[in-house]
Structure formats: structure tokens, C-alpha cells
Amino acid sequence: MKTDFVLKQLSDNGFYVHDNFLQDKALLGLQESCAKVLFNAPDSDYKFGKAARIGSLEANRIKNPPIAKAFESKELNEIRDKVFNNDCNFTEIFLTHEFTNSNGIERNGYLHFDRIWTFKYFYYLSDVNTLEDGPLKVVPASHYMGAMLRTRQYGKPYEQQDNRIQINYPEVYEDIQDTIEPIFGKAGTLVIFNTDTFHMGGNITGKNERKVCRLHMRQS
């Protein structure tokens, strides 16, 4: 994975996908560590399965080394440092194991941009080969419009910021709805993206499930 190529993809499209970035022992170690953490995590109000926020990258170097290590390859460190100009001072790791349910659509189940700009490394820990597996979906090259819409919200209370495209910007949604792309990939696939890029979680159906480990990065 070439840093300059990834940065160009992020600049042009707002996201980058690397199939099978983690393999073999590294992938198995991440899968096992995430499963253990989720098994022991207290129940939360997450409606679509099991979820856990497990703290910063630094804290997990001690608590969960295989999880931290997955986000600290030479390539990923270089990309993070370039994006943040060596000034990333907030990190949080978030784990989910989602499956079919009838709990409706959460806010992030709509096409949206994040109300707080975040840079994410996002691993599939299970194979996501079909729409029934609930793939992450994105709109390529939407990050510039997302940034414009997000910055218009400055000064509003967080909960009042409008970030759902179908609901808050229907004219935009009408123009871009046919360009939404699902991201498929085997376990170990890495997605890197800027959350100004319009994105949404896919709906999981049948007996399918989706397991994800992601790192959120910001300048606080």
C-alpha cells in the first residue's frame, strides 16, 4: 500500500479500500481479541447487536495489543501523520457485531456525513460479500459537498445539526442516490475514509451478520 496513492484516492474520492489488508495470524488475532472484548462488554443501548467503545489507541496497546497493532502498521501510521500533519490528538476504537433485527433505522442508517469530522480506519472482521451482509455504502467524491454542508452547521447545538441526506437535503439525495456504492470485502478488508464522505450502514437480512472494528481519529 503506497501512501501517496492512498492520499490521492482520499482526496479524489473520500475513501480507499484495500482488500485483505490483514491476513492469517494478524487477522485471527484481531478477530479473537474483538470477540473476547465484545463477549465481556456490558449491555448497551445499541439496537442492532453488540457494540463496545474500548478507549484510545494508546490505552489498547496495553489492554488489547492485537487490536491496537492492527491500526499501527508503518503504512497506516504514515497515512495518519500525513492527514493530520502529525497532530492527531484524539483516538477511539469502536467494535460492533451486528445481525438481523426489527429495530428500524438508526440515524446512521440513513445516508449521512458525520456531524464531527472524523478520519476512520474500518476493518471488516467477517466476510461482506452481498447486500444481505450489510456492507458500508458510500457516495464517491461526495466529501467536498459533505464538508460544505457540515460547516454550515457551525454554531448549532450538536443534536440540532442536519446531517441526514434523505431527510435534510432531499434535493441533494435525488441527484446522488444512483451513485451510492456498497463496499464488499472479505474479512481483513480495510476501508479508510473521511466522514464528510456521504456514507451509511447497510441493512443486514436473513441469518447474516457483520463484524467490524474501527478506529476513529480527530483533532480535538
For the segment 80-103, what is each residue's pLDDT rounded down to a tens digit? Answer: 999 999 999 899 999 999 886 554
Tally DSSP H helices, then E strands, for the chain. 8, 9
Contact 127, 187 (CB under 8 A): yes
CATH number assigned to the domain comprising residue 200? 2.60.120.620
Sign of CA dihedral 22, 190, 122, 193: positive
| 3-class SS of residue 62 | helix
| Residue whose C-alpha cell is 457483520 | 210
Identity (one letter) of the amino acid at 220? S
DSSP structure class, residue 191: E
Query: According to the model, what pLDDT value does residue 79 have?
Result: 97
Query: According to the model, what pLDDT value does residue 108 have?
Result: 57
Contacts of 62 (CB under 8 A, 6+ apart): none
Taking only the tens place, the pLDDT of each residue in 124-145 is 999 999 999 999 999 999 999 9
* Of 79, 60, 82, nearest in space to 69 by CA: 60
Query: According to the model, what pLDDT value does residue 42 have?
Result: 78
Backbone φ and ψ for 189, nearest 5 degrees, come out as -70, 135
Domain range for 197: 3-218
Residue 11 has pLDDT above 70, yes or no: yes
CA 147 → CA 33, 41, 153, 201, distances in Å? Answer: 35, 34, 10, 20
* Of 220, 166, 171, nearest in space to 198 by CA: 166
Backbone φ and ψ for 206, nearest 5 degrees, come out as 65, -140
Contact 159, 202 (CB under 8 A): no
Number of domains in the chain: 1
DSSP structure class, residue 71: T
**Alpha helices by DSSP H, 71-169:** 74-84, 143-151, 165-168
Query: According to the model, what pLDDT value does residue 105 have?
Result: 53
Residue 39 has pLDDT above 80, yes or no: yes
Instruction: Grade residue 190 by pLDDT with cuts at 50, 70 and 90.
Output: very high
Measure CA 7 to chain center.
Answer: 17
